[in-house]
Amino acid sequence: LVVGEFGGPSALELIEVPMPQPGPGQVRVAVKASSINPIDLSTRSGALAAAGLVPRAPITALGWDVAGSVEAIGSTVSRFEVGQSVVGLRDLISAVPGAHATHVVLDESALAPAPRSATWAEAATLPLNALTAARSLDHAEVEAGGWLLVTGAAGAVGGFAVELAAQRGLRTIAVASAEDEEFVLGLGADEFVPRAELLAQPVREIVPGGVGAVIDAASIGIVAHEALRGGGRFISLVRPLAPPPIRGTTVVVQEVFADGERLGELVRLVEAGRLTLRVADEVPLSQASRAYERVAEGGLRGRLVLVP
């Protein structure tokens, strides 16, 4: 699945390219499932290229999350063998094909064994957003017992962040739509605040002085920053939407990268029943344009997953 001229859903095109061959240290994966993430929509629309995050090229391939089986391995590959079930992250946007394809070649270091307890579609919802949530928590630097605010808590990154924070002993205030209250509290949030134009007051009623860190998965910027204590840490996921550091705060823009070892740790949490994988629907790769449209329309809970 590629885009030539950036634009709406009709800009997407399924093309045939030569079968990608794994080089040294690389693995070819026969893709069984690949989820559609917000970054795929930004790639298709041209927003990523406009931001200078993807080089302009005649075609740009889509898809980051991979669940599938190892089909071929390059020289020096030592951790995987043909036939093995894996999950992985394709983080080099300029590589063709991407993960929305029948086959993709990834570095061995980008892969982990697939969770045995998950379907292909469920497994495909893990890599991008769980890695992002885990790294965002590292950047937050909140000690056990400290307070964390997670916006967009019912979304993919936010949901994983709430679950991982609870496992680290953090106390979490989750911000999401009112209808998602029960869901995010079920993930392990300690407190719930419905999304609103101003968050400082309701959050500071729970934590006088403000929270120690914010993971802003809803990209609401300064509104969430107002709930942060002076000197606290603010984790943004979208560089242009990061607020400036004020009141002595530190603003970190988290940028995900493929990390098979870390992904392996997250896979073990899935197998232990400690991370929740959510699939909104499975759609054949041949209907990708319509699937992207459904994601753009919003309102989905869980990921839409493309199945070649």
Ligand X SMILES: NC(=O)c1ccc[n+]([C@@H]2O[C@H](COP(=O)([O-])OP(=O)(O)OC[C@H]3O[C@@H](n4cnc5c(N)ncnc54)[C@H](OP(=O)(O)O)[C@@H]3O)[C@@H](O)[C@H]2O)c1
Which positions touch ligand X (CB under 6 A)?
37-39, 128-129, 132, 151-152, 154-158, 175-177, 195, 217-220, 237-238, 254-256, 298
Q: Which is nearer to ligand X, 32 or 278 (CB)?
A: 278
The least CB distance from residue 234 to ligand X, in Å, is 14
Q: Which is nearer to ligand X, 14 or 222 (CB)?
A: 222
b/e string for 24-46 if b means 16 or more Cβ within 10 A? eebbbbebbbbbbbbbbbbbbbb
List beta partners, residue 27: 73, 106
Q: Are 70 and 80 in contact (CB under 8 A)?
A: yes
Distance CA 128, CA 114 (A): 14
Distance CA 280, CA 282 (A): 7
Q: Which is nearer to ligand X, 147 or 192 (CB)?
A: 192
Q: Which is nearer to ligand X, 70 or 237 (CB)?
A: 237
Distance CA 266, CA 167 (A): 12
Q: Which is nearer to ligand X, 31 or 217 (CB)?
A: 217
Q: Is 11 exposed, middle or buried (0-12, 13-18, 19+ CB in 10 A)?
A: middle
The least CB distance from residue 180 to ligand X, in Å, is 7
b/e string for 169-203 if b means 16 or more Cβ within 10 A? ebbbbbbbeeebbebbbebbbbbbbebeeebeebb
The least CB distance from residue 181 to ligand X, in Å, is 12
The least CB distance from residue 272 to ligand X, in Å, is 22
Q: Which is nearer to ligand X, 172 or 254 (CB)?
A: 254
The least CB distance from residue 84 to ligand X, in Å, is 26
The least CB distance from residue 73 to ligand X, in Å, is 28
Residue nearest to ligand X (CB): 155
| DSSP secondary structure code for residue 120 in this structure | H
